[in-house]
């Protein structure tokens, strides 16, 4: 470049600055957009802690160079580069189409740069320190790097930006006393976002409605906020995975409500102090909730849709309030047992419903959907027994909820409370007999108990002679009439022999149907009437307490047999206890 042109450029800049040029400014003009202090080590760059003539630089020179206001100087193509400088005044590239990348590595800015609605081919502020950044509406045809020791003491505003490359804040430090520390709301990012590997934010990181084509990585990041959001991804669209793991540390609210994550949302080996909200989010892959520590005040999974649930018991124990209403997932990959799952569902939050008149105490409702969802997934995975256990626990809770709802009605309702008590009794019978239709083979146990009890009662009654033949021909025969005349007329008395014992000594008894207490119990219990015991023998209700008990009890035994078989048919056919 001709010395005449340089002298003309130096003279023009001096007039604008009203002072002599500093060495780095002369270097910047001479090299048409490149400046660096002597001795600057690119392998170990350090930003200046103080300013002196060797590193001072006026930010306005960058704008003048890009707008070709400096006479005789055309900016080098590709990028404008300043390294290790102390930059004074405001760098204002607002509404400019720079057609180049801006590189300001390991620099210290005295004033917050303004890139509002500008167009750049890249923004590289690696290792620099600045008091905030206003880049709302920036269009960047390349990467943005605010990484490796980058430091901002006020809000970095990037709302509504369009970035075709990566947004890299690895090892960056962001802080703001007012407003968010980093704002990317409504931004469009064509690749990955890195907020990891030593990234820290003292204030909210705002990713509301952001559209990220790649992944969001917060591994090892530290997010802190007082009384609000620490990481806000509300309604964000993430085209790959979202990683919150490997010593991810957050104090404040993490918000992924209504977010759409195409891949996995991985929360692993993380410490969370605050609220974790994934309400109405859609996670195409898996939601990993593993190796979590800290104190999660609320975990909101209301109406959340997951592809897969990966979790562990320890992580759920960190959650104080668990909201699961409407949570849906297709499969589970975990070491948790069905008992662990049921214990977890016992802790879930239930909404509080006031009575209609508004004067009575409020009551807790019971939402069965999380139980039904878990049972459905167990069924799809082939764990039928576990699914039945979950449905049994759900229906047990429903039974008690309905009972307490009726008993706590504020207005007098004697009939309603009586029906609730009857329903509770029937519920107990149905539960212990059929497991609410989800464990129908419990009926075999009940039937066996009834049969054993009936067999024992029939045997005791017969041994005491308090049975009689039921055939009208036998009862009218001379042998029975003689036995009745000389036998005990009523209850057993000392020295008195029952008519049955006298009749057993006759020839007619030998040809009569032999009494079998086991077959009698089976004939009484099953409504088949094919074993000839019930039609041949009957207990004598007036000859002693055993006969009286069996005489009246047989109606209850027959009724239980009818109910058991009828209900069993309904259960096995699916009319009762349908599998959701």
Give the model confidence (pLDDT) of 384-395 as tens digits: 889 989 998 998
pLDDT at 102: 96
In terms of pLDDT, which residue wins out, 223 or 568?
223
pLDDT confidence tier of residue 409, bands split at 50, 70 and 90? confident
Mean pLDDT across 80-87: 96
pLDDT confidence tier of residue 40, bands split at 50, 70 and 90? confident
Gap between the Cα atoms of 365 and 316, Å rounded: 22
pLDDT confidence tier of residue 103, bands split at 50, 70 and 90? very high
Lowest mean pLDDT across 301-310, 333-342, 444-453, 491-500: 491-500
In terms of pLDDT, which residue wins out, 177 or 194?
194
Distance of CA 112 to the CA centre of its chain: 42
Of 565, 508, 572, 499, nearest to 538 by C-alpha is: 499
pTM for this entry? 0.80
Q: How many helices (H) and strands (E) does the chain have?
A: 15, 37
188 contact partners, CB below 8 Å, separation of at least 6? 161, 162, 163, 210, 211
pLDDT confidence tier of residue 576, bands split at 50, 70 and 90? low
Q: Which tokens belong to 417? A: 């409370």
- The answer to whether 96 touches 80, Cβ cutoff 8 Å, is no
**Which 8-state DSSP code applies to residue 429?**
H
Distance of CA 136 to the CA centre of its chain: 35
7 contact partners, CB below 8 Å, separation of at least 6? none
- The answer to whether 180 touches 158, Cβ cutoff 8 Å, is no
Three-state SS string over 369-392 comes to HHHHHHHHHHHHCCCHHHHHHHHH
State residue 403 phi and psi, 5-degree precision. Answer: -65, -50
In the chain, where are the structural domains located? 132-336, 363-425, 442-572
H/E stretch holding 280: none
Gap between the Cα atoms of 547 and 549, Å rounded: 5
For residue 198, is pLDDT > 50?
yes
| Ramachandran area for residue 33 (φ above 0: left; ψ -120 to 50: alpha; else beta) | left
pLDDT confidence tier of residue 23, bands split at 50, 70 and 90? very high
- Size of the chain, expressed as the number of residues it contains: 580
**Percent residues over pLDDT 70 in the chain:** 92
pLDDT at 1: 45
Q: What is the pLDDT of residues 207-218, one digit of tens each?
A: 999 999 999 999
User: Using alpha carbons only, how large is the chain's radius of gyration in Å?
Assistant: 42
pLDDT at 170: 96
- The answer to whether 193 touches 212, Cβ cutoff 8 Å, is yes
pLDDT at 137: 96
- The answer to whether 246 touches 222, Cβ cutoff 8 Å, is no
- The answer to whether 230 touches 200, Cβ cutoff 8 Å, is no
Q: What is the mean pLDDT of the chain?
A: 88
Q: What is the pLDDT of residues 517-545, one digit of tens each?
A: 999 888 888 876 677 888 888 898 888 88
454 contact partners, CB below 8 Å, separation of at least 6? 520, 521, 524, 525, 557
H/E stretch holding 453: helix 442-463
**Which 8-state DSSP code applies to residue 94?**
T
| Pairing outcome for strands 467-469 and 537-539 | antiparallel
* 47-51, 78-82, 514-518: range with highest mean pLDDT: 78-82
Mean pLDDT across 39-65: 90
In terms of pLDDT, which residue wins out, 256 or 465?
256
pLDDT confidence tier of residue 105, bands split at 50, 70 and 90? very high
pLDDT at 124: 97
Q: What is the pLDDT of residues 343-374, one digit of tens each?
A: 999 999 987 766 555 555 555 678 999 999 99
Gap between the Cα atoms of 189 and 17, Å rounded: 38
**Which 8-state DSSP code applies to residue 463?**
H
């Amino acid at each position: 470049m001709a010395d005449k042109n340089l002298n003309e450029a130096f003279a023009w800049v001096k007039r604008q600055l009203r002072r002599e040029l500093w060495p780095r400014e002369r270097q910047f003009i001479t090299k048409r957009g490149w400046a660096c202090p002597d001795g600057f080590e690119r392998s170990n760059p350090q930003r200046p802690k103080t300013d002196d003539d060797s590193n001072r630089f006026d930010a306005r020179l960058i704008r003048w160079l890009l707008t070709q206001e400096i006479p005789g100087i055309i900016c080098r193509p590709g990028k404008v580069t300043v390294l290790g400088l102390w930059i004074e005044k405001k760098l204002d590239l607002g509404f400019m189409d720079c057609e180049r990348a801006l590189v300001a590595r390991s620099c210290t800015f005295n004033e917050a740069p303004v890139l509002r609605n500008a167009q750049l081919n890249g923004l590289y502020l690696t290792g620099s320190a600045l008091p905030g950044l206003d880049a709302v509406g920036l269009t960047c045809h390349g990467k943005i790097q605010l990484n490796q020791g980058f430091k901002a003491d006020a809000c970095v505003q990037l709302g509504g930006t369009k970035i075709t490359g990566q947004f890299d804040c690895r090892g960056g430090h962001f802080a703001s006393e007012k407003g968010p520390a980093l704002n990317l709301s409504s931004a469009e990012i064509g690749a990955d976002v890195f907020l990891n590997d030593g990234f820290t934010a003292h204030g909210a990181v705002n990713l509301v409605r952001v559209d990220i084509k790649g992944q969001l990585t917060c591994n090892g990041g530290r997010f802190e906020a007082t009384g609000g959001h620490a990481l806000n991804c509300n309604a964000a669209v993430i085209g790959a995975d979202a990683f919150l793991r490997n010593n991810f540390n957050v104090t404040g609210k993490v918000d992924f409500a209504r977010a759409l994550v195409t891949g996995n949302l991985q929360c692993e080996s993380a410490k969370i102090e605050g609220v974790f909200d994934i309400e109405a989010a859609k996670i195409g892959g898996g939601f990993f909730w593993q190796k979590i520590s800290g104190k999660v005040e609320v975990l909101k999974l209301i109406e959340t849709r997951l592809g897969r649930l990966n979790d562990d018991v320890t992580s759920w124990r960190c959650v104080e309030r668990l909201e699961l209403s409407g949570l849906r997932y297709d499969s589970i990959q975990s070491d948790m047992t069905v008992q662990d799952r049921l214990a977890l569902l016992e802790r879930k939050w239930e909404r509080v419903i006031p009575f209609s008149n508004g004067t009575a105490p409020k009551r807790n409702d019971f939402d069965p959907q999380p139980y039904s969802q878990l049972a459905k997934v167990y069924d799809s995975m082939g764990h039928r027994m576990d699914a039945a256990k979950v449905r049994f626990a759900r229906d047990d809770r429903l039974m008690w909820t309905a009972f307490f709802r009726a008993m706590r009605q504020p207005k007098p309702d004697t009939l309603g409370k009586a029906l609730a008590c009857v329903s509770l009794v029937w519920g107990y019978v149905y539960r212990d007999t059929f497991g609410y239709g989800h464990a129908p083979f419990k009926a075999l146990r009940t039937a066996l108990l009834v049969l054993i009890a009936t067999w024992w009662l029939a045997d005791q009654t017969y041994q005491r002679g308090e049975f009689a033949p039921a055939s009208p021909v036998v009862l009218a025969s001379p042998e029975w009439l003689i036995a009745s005349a000389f036998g005990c007329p009523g209850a057993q008395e000392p020295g008195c022999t029952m008519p049955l014992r006298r009749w057993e000594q006759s020839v007619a008894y030998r040809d009569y149907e032999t009494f079998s207490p086991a077959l009698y119990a089976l004939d009484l219990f099953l409504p088949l009437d094919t074993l000839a015991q019930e039609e041949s023998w009957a207990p004598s209700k007036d000859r002693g307490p055993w006969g009286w008990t069996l005489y009246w009890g047989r109606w209850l035994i027959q009724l239980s047999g009818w109910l058991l078989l009828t209900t069993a048919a309904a259960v096995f056919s699916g009319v009762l206890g349908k599998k959701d």
